[in-house]
């Protein structure tokens, strides 16, 4: 009994220490983001464009309000090369053009439609997509309280492409692969396409999540947590500051 009590006390202490560490880490990251936002403050119209890249920006603990990033440049260079095959200007432009004009949606919208309708699909085509898609739905229902009706309104995973395009533009500019002017051109193009495709931020997030689950076969748990805490529930978030639809 005494040993069990000691174990319980140790577990409680460990959990407390972990929560304290997490709180301090969040405070540090928030401070760094605020410093960047103060130093590189942007006009309202450009902050609004960056809102369409907010999911991955937060996932990487970056600011959602400035073009500038805080990530280590060499680490970013290696990450773009290994994950995207981007090692210079030509690669960056090819990738951005692909994401904005084609992207994973050209291949996976059909898979998504079949998963949504329950139509049978050849198992070799699915891989882990089906299980990741089902997991994504359950996590979103549980954490964000979205419904099957919300899910049924989504017809494309295009948000997965547009959010990534905006962040690839940011990262490519940070590495001097493209100019700032070019970065904003790609960001604006992706934002305008997103604005015409979806009704609001909720549907944009669901599309992104399903895209990540199906095309990337990845867990969306972390992005759900960030979306809930930083985008949907935070009164000061970019998503609560700006309406989804851009002016024509």
pLDDT given for residue 23 in this prediction = 39
Q: Which of 3-12, 137-146, 192-201 has the lowest mean pLDDT?
A: 3-12
pLDDT digits (tens, 9 = 90+) for 200-223: 999 999 999 999 999 999 889 889
pLDDT given for residue 21 in this prediction = 36
- Across all residues in the chain, what is the average pLDDT? 88
Residue with tokens 């919208």, as numbered in its chain: 109
Q: pLDDT over 90 for what percent of the chain?
A: 72
The answer to whether 126 touches 187, Cβ cutoff 8 Å, is no
Residue with tokens 């998963």, as numbered in its chain: 115
pLDDT given for residue 56 in this prediction = 96
pLDDT given for residue 40 in this prediction = 81
pLDDT digits (tens, 9 = 90+) for 127-166: 788 899 999 999 999 999 999 999 999 999 999 999 999 9
What Å distances lie between residue 144 and 137, 150, 227, CA to CA?
Answer: 10, 11, 9
Q: Residue 207 and residue 157: Cα distance in Å, rounded? A: 5
pLDDT given for residue 212 in this prediction = 96
Q: Where are the alpha helices (DSSP H) in 73-157?
A: 73-84, 89-101, 105-117, 123-126, 129-144, 148-152
Q: Which of 20-34, 94-108, 169-183 has the lowest mean pLDDT?
A: 20-34
pLDDT given for residue 8 in this prediction = 59
pLDDT digits (tens, 9 = 90+) for 30-41: 667 778 778 888
């Amino acid at each position: 009994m005494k040993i069990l009590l000691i174990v319980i006390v140790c577990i409680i202490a460990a959990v407390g220490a972990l929560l304290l560490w997490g709180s301090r880490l969040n405070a540090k990251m928030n401070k760094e983001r605020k410093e960047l936002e103060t130093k590189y403050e942007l006009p309202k119209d450009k902050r609004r464009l960056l809102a369409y890249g907010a999911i991955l920006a937060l996932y990487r603990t970056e600011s959602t309000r400035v073009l500038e990033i805080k990530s280590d440049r060499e680490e970013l260079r290696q990450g773009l090369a290994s994950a995207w095959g981007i090692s210079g200007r030509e690669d960056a432009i090819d990738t951005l053009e692909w994401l904005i004009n084609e992207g994973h949606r050209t291949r996976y919208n059909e898979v998504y439609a079949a998963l949504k309708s329950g139509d049978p699909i050849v198992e070799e085509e699915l891989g882990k997509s089906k299980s990741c898609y089902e997991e994504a739905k359950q996590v979103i229902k549980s954490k964000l309280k979205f419904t099957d009706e919300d899910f049924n309104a989504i017809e494309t995973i295009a948000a997965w492409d547009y959010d990534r395009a905006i962040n690839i533009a940011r990262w490519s500019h940070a590495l001097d692969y493209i100019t700032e002017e070019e970065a904003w051109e790609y960001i604006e193009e992706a934002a305008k396409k997103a604005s015409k495709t979806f009704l609001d931020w909720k549907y944009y997030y669901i599309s992104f999540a399903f895209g990540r689950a199906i095309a990337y076969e990845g867990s969306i748990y972390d992005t759900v947590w960030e979306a809930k805490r930083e985008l949907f529930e935070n009164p000061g978030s970019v998503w609560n500051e700006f309406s989804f639809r851009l002016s024509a």
